[in-house]
Amino acid sequence: MDILNDLRSIMTVVSLVTFLGIVWWAFSRRNGQRFEEAANLPFAEDDEAGAAPGGARQR
């Protein structure tokens, strides 16, 4: 049973390090501009007024 507890502890540490890595990546200044552009995509105007993706017209 001691090896099972060791594996659980290792998995907990690996999960914590992975989580911290994702948080660090998400909030790094290097990705800030790219995330800012992606956040504003829903508000971007289309080239043609009223055009939906794929060329279909909205009603």
pLDDT digit string, tens, across residues 12-34: 999 999 999 999 998 888 888 88
Query: The tokens of 47 are what?
Result: 């080239």
pLDDT for the residue 17: 98
> pTM of the prediction?
0.57
H or E element that contains 34: helix 32-39
pLDDT for the residue 57: 56
Cβ burial 6-21 (10 Å sphere, 16+ → b, else e):
eeeeeeeeeeeeeeee
Whole-angstrom distance, CA of residue 23 vs CA of residue 28: 8
Query: The tokens of 35 are what?
Result: 């995330």
